[in-house]
Amino acid sequence: MTPLDPRLLSHVRAARRYIIFTAVTGFVQAGLIIAQVLLIAHAIAPVITDGVSLASRLPFVWALAGVVLARVVTTIAHERYAHRAADDVVAELRGAVLRHAIAMGPRAGTERGSEVVTLITQGLEDLRPYFVRYVPQLILAATVTPATLIVVFLYDWVAGLTILFTIPLIPLFMALVGWMTQSYSTTRLAKMRRLNAEVIDLLTGLPTLRGFGRELGPIARVKVIAQAYTRVTMQTLKVAFLSGAVLEFLATLSVALVAVGVGMRLVSALIALLPGLVVIMLAPECFQPLRQVGAHFHASADGIAAADAAFELLAQPVLADGTREAPAPDGRAPAIEFSALSVAAPGRDLLAPARLNGRAEPGTLTALVGASGSGKTTAIMAVLGLVRPAAGAVRVEFASGEHADVADLARESWHRWCTWVPQRPSIIPGRVIDQFAASETSEAPLLAGAELPSARLEDAAAMTGFDEVIAELPAGWDTVIGHGGYGLSVGQAQRLALTRALVEPTPVMLLDEPSAHLDAAAERHVLASLTALKDQGATVIVVAHRPTLIHLADVVIDVRSESASTLARTS
């Protein structure tokens, strides 16, 4: 990422507003600094050289006080706006990354899930020092330094040449140490992603590990990664401190050269006191912005690396969407046909499913069966348009007689026909009753008031057996559960998701192993619910492993996987 990456300005509107505001305040600061130096010099020099009374210098003193007050006000205004702008920029870029990750499809989210989580939580937070400290100093270096250097040349060309020839040393050394720091920051972000991925995987699989008594096994591995992350962080800080010292030394030496030269010429009466004071006071101001750019670059290097990662993700292709609008749901379920459907497994020479054929009719229960990894869940995702087939298609035949490939339909319009209950349903933190209030979309409310379930919701809970779960919970519908259904068993969370799906059924019901994690009594409730759905005329497609669910199905479709190269040779 360059000092002002055009990708940031093109993707983030808040960044453009902030750069414009910072440029304006930079010009104001340059003018105020020059005015302050000139007022001080004109207030002091005549008193020393010409014996002018102090009283005659009061107008300059009052003007100086006004300039100082203006600098304070400008600084406060910029600081307040800088923090707010940083919040806006981070929020806007975070939203763009999240929306793009979703648009890439569930498979991309699975492959890069930990990277996206790290980026939108911790990584982009490191952009705040970049906007609050680094960018303002960069603008000041482009405004204050040239302006003060011009004034120095006007008062003393010798000192101007000294500054002109010493200033390039600071950007040169800043670039050298910056490249080194950038590599450390990139490594640090990669280590952070890896550590986060390990911890997320560990937390996700912790119940299983604990069930087998292996919950302490990953501790050593996480500790090794954490120590590596700590070492890289300390190396970055070490380089930052050393480079800061180098830049301070160069700036101090350059100012000393100017001050010594002016001092020697003052003693030799080769320069008057007034221009000498102006030059000596402006010399540090010429170098100060560049010194601060170097110092704050290291504080913002992690944010720059995170922004590069964000733009790399934003450059990834998204899942193509269809252009044809599906008709509005009319209560009549469509038929869904798998026509030689093959989907390529990411990163493997495998098609899962491969050459899948079958048809799901309205008012029937269709079961997808097959070995683990054969592509049953992928077939469901193909029905939803969330994966693109490598060959074949999923076709929809609406009751009106209209036909369409799912890949050609606009996903949002097609999803109005569908309800999907995945193996791991999404459950938001909050009360149990809130899970249904958040999904209220129909004219008939799901809640009776703000606290009580409606009769329709209670009927759906009774159908899935979730009413028995409610009776066991300490506060019933008001019981608070955590992220992912923490506080509920896996089977209870599954029944909550089924209730949420059945309370407002759609013409197409897609369920991924709905009876998994359930005992025999709870499974009977699920089977009765599926029977009721198909009796209502819905097209019901389930991924099934249990014999009871397979026996209930009207149509059983066998799902298989094949090597992509083998299939290519045979075809």
Whole-angstrom CA distances from 240 to 166, 188, 205, 236, 237 are 22, 14, 39, 6, 5
Q: Which fold has domain 6-314?
A: ABC transporter transmembrane region fold (1.20.1560)
Nearest to 358 by CA among 371, 340, 344, 376: 340
Whether 514 and 522 have beta carbons less than 8 Å apart is answered as: no
- In this structure, what token pair is assigned to residue 53? 């009374």
CA 94-437-537 angle, 5° bins:
105
Give the span between the Cα atoms of 398 and 416, in whole angstroms: 13
CA 355-406-332 angle, 5° bins:
115
Whether 153 and 340 have beta carbons less than 8 Å apart is answered as: no
Residue bearing tokens 């203006």: 70
Residue 71's Cβ-count burial label (10 Å; 0-12, 13-18, 19+) is middle
Q: 335-570 falls under which CATH superfamily?
A: P-loop containing nucleotide triphosphate hydrolases (3.40.50.300)
Which pLDDT score, from 0 to 100, does residue 182 have? 62
Nearest to 506 by CA among 320, 336, 369, 341: 336
Q: SS3 for 306-320, per residue?
A: HHHHHHHHHCCCCCC
Which pLDDT score, from 0 to 100, does residue 442 have? 46
Which pLDDT score, from 0 to 100, does residue 338 have? 93
Cis omega (within 30 of 0) for bond into 353? yes
Domain layout of the chain by residue ranges: 6-314, 335-570
Identify the three-state secondary structure at position 3.
Answer: coil
- In this structure, what token pair is assigned to residue 548? 């009871």
The alpha helices in 465-545, defined as continuous H runs, are 466-472, 490-502, 520-535
Give the span between the Cα atoms of 212 and 214, in whole angstroms: 6
Q: CB neighbours of 434 closer than 8 A, spacing ≥ 6? A: 428
Give the span between the Cα atoms of 162 and 261, in whole angstroms: 9
Nearest to 186 by CA among 2, 309, 4, 313: 309
By residue count, the chain amounts to 571
Give the span between the Cα atoms of 74 and 481, in whole angstroms: 49
Whether 456 and 503 have beta carbons less than 8 Å apart is answered as: yes
Digit-by-digit pLDDT tens for the chain (571 residues) are: 556 667 776 767 777 778 788 888 888 888 898 899 888 888 888 888 777 787 888 888 899 999 999 989 988 888 888 888 888 888 888 888 888 888 887 766 555 666 777 777 777 777 787 777 777 878 888 888 888 889 889 888 888 888 888 888 777 776 666 666 666 666 666 666 666 666 766 666 776 777 677 767 777 777 777 777 777 777 766 766 776 677 777 778 888 888 888 888 888 888 888 888 888 888 888 888 877 776 676 656 667 777 788 888 888 888 888 888 888 888 889 999 999 899 888 767 788 888 899 999 999 999 999 888 888 989 999 999 888 888 889 999 998 888 889 988 988 899 999 999 887 787 888 888 888 765 444 444 444 444 556 777 888 888 888 888 888 888 888 888 887 677 787 778 888 888 888 888 889 999 988 877 777 877 888 888 888 888 889 999 999 888 888 899 999 999 998 887 665 555 5
- Bridge partners (DSSP) listed for residue 452: 448
